[in-house]
A and B are shown apart, each in its own frame.
Chain A
Amino acid sequence: MNVYLLLKNSDFNLDDLTEEEIEPLNSDLSLDIIFKAMAKGDDVIYGAVRKVMFRYLTDSSEITYRQEILNDAFAKPKEFKKLYEIASEALDATKKQDYWLNSQILTTRFQSAVSVLEGFIPFLQELRKFADQNKNAFSSYGMNRLLSEIKEEIDDDFIRKAKDLVSELEFKDGMLLGLTFDNDASLAGYQLLRKTSEDNKIKWKMAPKVTLAVNDESGMEDISDRTNLALSQSVDTLTEAAGNVKDFLFRLQTEIGFYIGVLNLTDTLKEKNVSYCMPLISDSTMKKRHIAGLSEATVVLSGENAVHNDIDSEGKSLYIITGANQGGKSTFLRSIGQAQMMAQSGCIVMAQSFESHVVSGIFTHFSKLEDRTMKSGKLDEELLRMSGIADRIRSNALILFNESFQSTNEREGSEICREIVNALVEDGIEVFFVTHFFTFAENVLEHMKDESVFLKAERMSGGQRTFKIVPGLPEETAYGRDLYDSIF
């Protein structure tokens, strides 16, 4: 039985995230605040959304597949929550058996596996009920496929057989073992057998029997060894069965959990009056960005006044963002990264509208604020990091630079920027670059004008910042004087 709610035809990778998958995106794009808003205190959802987002998709058909399911979630949030609940309760109910499943004692392992399976049955029944009640509720392919599989596999026949089997495995009425002889006429081949309807009747009462004396210890040891031989054949199968049902429920919980996370986020955004939309992502070889009213997560989720930015471009690979210090450039850069990642995870985007091409990977190269004063060794560190990116980045990726290579002087730094950016853009990589290097920006203006977009932090004539990023050519000063004036 497959869940397949995050990928059309396969199981989403639920392994623990590696350090490489998480950083530097997590810090640079301040993603944790988004995850927390999605989780609303639920650890399972927190874990689920993180895995889904850090493992964003790069196939637009898979993105569409998720968006359809997400639309179902928007339409029927209570039902989605119910499904999540069933899975969670099933797992909670059987959690305490986990310890015993690893016991050294065979009979303990056996009994706990039976217990786990027994515990799951009512929840599987609930799943079935859910599927029956909601057979016309959803329009996505994913949800309907899941429901019909549940109906088919967890049918009445299965429920009945499972209950019978589990009940028999309690051996309330004795155990049946099949015996055969080996090629030395010794007894071997001890196998657990199922009782037939006949087995509960008189014929066993009439069968030849032997009853061990109460103090016949060696006799009891002998018989229990023989039964253990049979049990050991089955205990592995049982434990695997229990484990597999558990895996299915865990996966269901996680995959549905992601959608619950998005629902939670949209609830919060609605409360805070933040616009959000279902993004339009296409497999376009031509780069296009039509974004209106884009806001950034840390700003809106902490209740500050949001700034909304727009981009309207086609066929552009390079965005040069210059302008006054603390003018909202970093915030803008983060909002781009966040939006792209969320869009490619099948989530909503915090914008009024968002249309873009799909990117093969999202990379960041941010300068660390506190390190900016330390020049020695810093350039090495930045270049090393860039080299690491170069190893992994492929064509059609998106890379965001924030004040990179400013650990050296403008002339040298510009040269470094120019060479790196040239190479990236020529390879079809989309670059957003926030920089103070006028030389570099001017060079781009001179040689790469056609594929570039020039943006700057808006500054009113009186010197006030609006924190909005608007189209604008680079200026030689970053208006440090304004800042000085405002302080002194």
Chain B
Amino acid sequence: MKEFYSILYESPQVEGSEKEDSGERKFLNLNLDQVFDKLIKSNEAYGFSDVYYQPLTDIEAVRYRQEICRDFDNADFFELYHSFAENINETEEKMAEIQTKLSKLHGFENDYYLKAGALGLANRYCRIILNMANFVRGKRILSRGLRAFNEYLADYASSPDFQDFYRDTKDLIGKFQNINVVMRVSDRTVNIRPFDDQRNMNTEIESLFSRFNINGEKRYTSEHMSESRISPNVSRDLYSMIAQWNKDVFKELDEFITKHLYFNDKTVSRFSREVHFYLSWQTYISSVKRTGLSFCYPEISNDTTDVFCQDCFDLVLARNLVFEENHPVTNSFELHSPEKIIVLTGPNQGGKTTFARSFGQFFYLASLGLSVPGSAAKMFLPDHIFTHFNMEENAVAHDGKLKDELIRLKSILEKTTNRSVLIINEIFSSTTLKDALELGRIMMKDLSEKGCLALSVTFLDELSTFDEHTVSYVAGINKDIPGERSYHISRRASDGIAYAEDIARKYHLTYSDLKERLAK
């Protein structure tokens, strides 16, 4: 029979990438903690949460996941697998409860209510499997992963073991459906006897009073007890009384349980849990898609010469703006050899930190094999993603801040290779301009020599023309409205404009404005 390993990893060898510390500052800096906390919360029960902290370093592994994620861009496939997974999950959850309860029974005890419940769930399980196997037969699935699972499922459904199980289930359900008993309720006593051809009260009333023009409309529906009001003890007693009149069938039930109690297929089970990795991602980004933003599957290359992303954006910001029926401004970036370092300058609150975050999110999410913000992209899988953000809330005293920054920088640079990605946000802002410039230039030299990919957000315009590896990007302002930002980041030489002047103008606090006001 065909084997299927996992929908997250093509083979066991790929699994077991190093797990990063979920508490790392990187996740907080990039706001990825907000993304993963939400996703993990909805997927807690499925046991794959670690995957979010295990970025892939193998191109094929990433492609494996991208293909699957792409299949779920299709709403029909999403629905199909989503309901399959949910049905399996629900059935298994209920089965687990029954399995536990039955295992706790003492040797002399029996509970036919639980056993009948297991039978019912077995029937449901068979139908889910068979329906799914039927449904996916002949459907155009693109990803290797889902195709492999479908083949497994088809094999499993037609396997002699499963067919045997299905037949046993169907037969026994049929036998139960042939049972007809009568329950007598009188005060607090309940008796059970087999059906004795008693007439139905409804039809009697109808036929007796039909001479008074009753419409014989059958309003009979198969009513069920509401699950929350079922008393397990009463149910157990009822079933046990019914068993006394149908010993054969219930003996078969005992045998069925002995043979089939643990009927869940491990591979199907694992799939039904792990597939939520993709399904929950699709759900997570769907509201953002509805505001008009695009997601794409970056082309992954082994060499680091070309990197670009068109129409990138900060995913967390985008999700927050959904409630305002708006979306953030999208920005693009590109680096072609020998370009390696983006120096981003521009006014305060101009969207630079947001850009830095979207840059980092882009690389990290892509290495999980999921779709990423953007309309088209190309990248390589970094061996590490390092972030160095200016931490304003830090308790460290102001003069200790520079020291702290340098220590952090050192530890990052020690591990940086020419396949790493660094994001440095507003470093050296707590020292004199002269010092900052000097340290900045040293840092740029280091980065340049290492050959890593980097984004440095800084107020030091001078760094933007450091060497042939450097590219200058600038955050823009809205020329028409003083103090307004456009959040548009463009690839051009830095302005050298005193942006502070811009804000001052907004509050009528420029020199000329203030003079005028004071003269009054």
Contact = CB atoms under 8 A, between A and B. Distances in A.
A220 B188 contact: yes
Interface string A167-186: 00100011111111111111
B476 to A, nearest CB: 63
Given A184-B123, A223-B185, A233-B219, A241 B226 contact: no
Contacts of A241: 205-206, 208-209, 212, 214
A203 B196 CA distance: 11
Interface in B136-189: 172-173, 176-177, 179-189
B121 interface: yes
B224 interface: yes
A175 B197 CA distance: 16
A202 to B, nearest CB: 12
Contacts of A209: 189-192, 241
Nearest to A181: B176
A186 B214 contact: no
B254 to A, nearest CB: 14
B205 A237 contact: yes
Contact of B225 (A211, A225, A237): A225
A314 interface: no
Contacts of B235: 187, 222
Nearest to B234: A222
A193 interface: yes
Contacts of A248: 212-213
Chain B interface bracket (under 10, 10 to 19, 20 to 34, 35 or more):
35 or more
Contacts of B245: 208
A222 B199 contact: no
Interface in A311-369: none
B482 interface: no
Interface stretch (B32-40, B112-120, B378-386): B112-120
A210 interface: yes
Interface stretch (A43-51, A157-165, A262-270, A286-294): A157-165
Most buried by A among B181, B205, B224, B245: B205
Nearest to A213: B188
Contacts of B224: 182, 186, 188, 229
Given A158-B208, A184-B123, A193-B182, A211 B200 contact: no
Nearest to A195: B198
Interface in B67-83: none
Given A222-B229, A248-B212, A175 B195 contact: no
Contacts of B117: 185-186
Nearest to B223: A229
Contact of B121 (A184, A211, A218): A184
B189 A234 contact: no
Nearest to A172: B186
A220 B233 CA distance: 11
B180 A178 contact: yes
A176 B208 contact: no
A103 B430 CA distance: 77
Contacts of B226: 225
Contacts of A153: 211
Contact of A176 (B176, B183, B244): B183
A240 interface: yes
Contacts of B187: 174
Most buried by B among A162, A190, A193, A209: A193
Contact of A221 (B180, B213, B229): B229
A179 B200 CA distance: 12
Given A192-B201, A194-B198, A240-B214, A208 B191 contact: yes
Contacts of B237: 210
Interface string B109-133: 0000000110111011000000000
Contacts of A182: 177, 222, 224
B230 interface: yes
Interface string A23-40: 000000000000000000
Contacts of B116: 181, 185-186
A439 interface: no
Nearest to B189: A211
A193 B222 contact: no
Contacts of A483: none
B337 interface: no
Most buried by B among A181, A190, A204, A208: A181
A373 B188 CA distance: 83
A296 B144 CA distance: 100
B201 to A, nearest CB: 4
Interface string A190-228: 111111101100011001111111101011111101110
Contacts of A195: 198
A165 B229 contact: no
B317 interface: no
Nearest to A244: B212
B515 interface: no
Contacts of B233: 216, 219
Interface in A236-250: 236-238, 240-241, 244-245, 247-248
B177 A181 contact: yes
Contact of B214 (A212, A213, A220, A237): A237
A208 B215 CA distance: 39
A193 B199 contact: yes
Nearest to B208: A161
Contacts of A169: 201
Contacts of A203: 193
B162 to A, nearest CB: 19
A198 B121 CA distance: 38
B108 interface: no
A229 B224 CA distance: 8
Given A175-B184, A181-B179, A241-B214, A225 B229 contact: yes
A407 B29 CA distance: 94
B123 A174 contact: no
B212 A180 contact: no
A232 interface: yes
A191 B201 contact: yes
B244 A208 contact: yes
A472 interface: no
A236 B199 CA distance: 18
A188 B209 contact: no
Contacts of B13: none
A77 interface: no
B202 A196 contact: no
B198 A196 contact: yes
B190 A238 contact: no
A208 B220 contact: no
A471 interface: no
A179 B183 contact: yes
A179 B181 contact: yes
Contacts of B172: 185
Given A204-B191, A208-B241, A245-B209, A185 B123 contact: yes
B184 A219 contact: no
B109 to A, nearest CB: 16
Interface string B219-253: 11011111001110111011011101100000000
B204 interface: yes
Contacts of A210: 189-190, 234, 237-238, 241
A191 B119 contact: no
Given A184-B121, A186-B120, A232-B223, A174 B184 contact: yes
Given A221-B231, A244-B212, A187 B199 contact: no
A91 to B, nearest CB: 14
Contacts of A158: 208, 211
A1 interface: yes
A76 B69 CA distance: 91
Most buried by B among A153, A204, A222: A222
Contacts of B182: 176-179, 193
List of 7 A-B pairs having minimum Cβ-Cβ separation, nearest first: A174-B186, A184-B120, A222-B231, A192-B201, A241-B209, A244-B212, A193-B198
8 contacts: A176-B183, A178-B195, A183-B123, A190-B223, A209-B191, A221-B229, A222-B225, A222-B235
